[in-house]
Structure 1
Amino acid sequence: MDVEVLKEWITLENIMEIIEKYRSFGPIPGILLPMVEAFIPFLPLVLFVMANANAFGLWFGFLFSWIGASVGAYLVFLLIRRFGQKRFFAFLKRNPKVQKLTAWVERHGFGPLFLLLCFPFTPSAVVNIVAGLSKISIYQYMLAVFTGKMVMVFMISFVGHDIRSLITQPTRTAIVGVVIFILWLVGKQIEIRLNNGVKKERQRT
């Protein structure tokens, strides 16, 4: 299936239909969808989390999405940590930006990773790869992933668990829109600071 066709097909309704179709498997579909997104970054994690919140309710939907997203990110990290030195990943290690980001993550550890993973607009695949190539400890990475993903997934679940109210309650919709905009704005500021940090590190070397 063509990637563009797949992107057009992936809607909240279609994802919920898949979850309902395989409801007999319990929480497995709800966990697998966010987990797969960690390996295929163009898949919409936000829609998966919202679908889980609608299908399983706020708390169970949040739990299944959190487990899936966290485990998926951790598996990507382990794969990069295990095979990152192989020739297949050589192009990543040679990339100057990746090298500088990797060094920056090694110096600053938990804090930046946690903040980046809190925001739904952060390209988490890049964060996982850079962390895997870095020398950051597995414990630091696990802590950042499980806490950061918890914040991010709960925010999306809370917004998405009652889609109808976004239409019937315009005040709530406006508040949600403002919150999302603020999160995007803060995420961009963090991204700018990270880029500035990389530039400063580059000037020192």
Structure 2
Amino acid sequence: MKLSTKFKKPVIILAVTLMLFWSTTLLWHIDLKDVAQTAVSGDINAAAQAIAGAGAAAILISIYINAAISIMGLLPSVFLTGANVLVFGLYGGFLVSWAGEVVGAAVSFLLYRWGIKSAAKIPTDRWKTIKTINALPGARQIYFLTILRMAPFMPSGLINLLGALTAIRLQNFILATTIGKFPALLLETAFMYNLLNINKGYINMVTGVLVAALLYWGVQKELQRLDKLHQNTNR
């Protein structure tokens, strides 16, 4: 029995991701159980040990853990950002976390969309918020999701799910994630770095909290604007 076109893309991407993960763990003799436990632990030190213990595959393992967190949906990945800072340093930790967020978002987006629209066949196009987002032009959809992505410390899986429920194209979703996650992860990385070196960074931590509050305020304003847009289109 042949797979339909809707099923092919997510199945192929999932298969390739699993093959890369399996080959990485096989080549570097990494325990799959440890990786899985790390993804759900929320423990910075445990995550840092698992990543550092992977040796040359440390970056790949960090990205895999990030992808697992994205697929699970509700667990914030800020602890993994802290682990990446411990293993790769301030700048390296930021870049690895950024790459992991983008890869994890793309994989989970495709799996969510396949599961909701192709497997479960949930009629999401009738939902209020989804209907409003779908009515936006492509550039506006990118802008809206980019703003949402800028909120630091928010579980990425929630926004991945929202994106999958809408009609936004994969490349536009990845673009919004790449742009929006840049400032969010800069803030998360700086915050975790100062938290891990708390005696050196009180001022930076306070600044980070203030910036985070401003970003959340911006996201809230954008959501209110979207709600007003929906009300106007229904008049």
Please tell me the TM-score bracket, short chain as reference. 0.7 to 0.9
- How many equivalent pairs are there? 197
- Do the aligned partners of residues 143 and 8 (structure 1) sit closer, same or farther apart at CA in structure 2, a change above 3 Å counting? closer
Q: Match of 2:57?
A: 25
Aligned twin of 1:182? 211
- The worse-fitting range, judged by mean Cα deviation, of 194-203 and 58-67 is 194-203
1:101 Cα shift? 4.4
| Structure 2 equivalent of residue 137 of structure 1 | 169
8 Å Cα contact 2:78/2:153 also seen in 1? no
Which stretch of structure 1 is more off in the superposition, 6-15 or 53-62? 6-15
Superposition map of 1:61-72 within 5 A: 61-72=93-104
CA RMSD between the two structures = 3.0
Look up the match of 1:202: 231
Q: Give 2:143's aligned residue.
A: 111
* Residue deviations 1:141-175 (CA, integer Å, cap 9, x gap): 22211121222223222332354432x23xx3243
Cα drift, residue 191 of structure 1: 2.3
Q: Which secondary structure does the structure 1 equivalent of 2:122 belong to?
A: helix
Shift of 1:83: 4.5
Runs of 5+ in structure 1 lacking a partner? 1-5
Alignment partner of 1:34 is 2:66: yes
Residue of structure 1 in register with 2:81 after alignment: 49
Deviations 1:47-85 (A, max 9, x none): 101110111112222222111110111112223444542
What per-residue deviation string (whole Å, max 9, x for no partner) do you get for residues 1-56 of structure 1?
xxxxx999522222222223333533122212222121112323111011101111
Q: What TM-score do you get using the length of structure 2 for normalisation?
A: 0.69
State the one-letter code of the partner of 1:179: G
Confirm or deny that 1:125 pairs with 2:157: yes
Between the aligned partners of 1:135 and 1:44, the Cα distance in structure 2 is 25
Residues 87 and 36 of structure 1: is their aligned pair in 2 closer, same or farther, counting only changes over 3 Å? closer
**Cα distance in 2 between the residues matched to 1:112 and 1:126:** 14
In the aligned structure 1, how far is the partner of 2:213 from the partner of 2:137?
Answer: 22
* Residue identity matched to 2:211: I
SS of 1:145 mapped into structure 2: helix
Q: Normalising to structure 1: TM-score of the pair?
A: 0.78
Q: Which has the higher contact order (CA 8 A, sep 6+)?
A: 1
Is the alpha carbon distance of 1:95 and 1:47 closer, same or farther for their aligned partners in structure 2, counting shifts above 3 Å?
same
Q: Is contact 2:97-2:185 (8 Å) kept? A: yes
SS of the residue 1:115 aligns to: helix
Q: What percent identity do the matched residue pairs reach? A: 21
Kept in 2: contact 1:49–1:61 (CA 8 A): yes
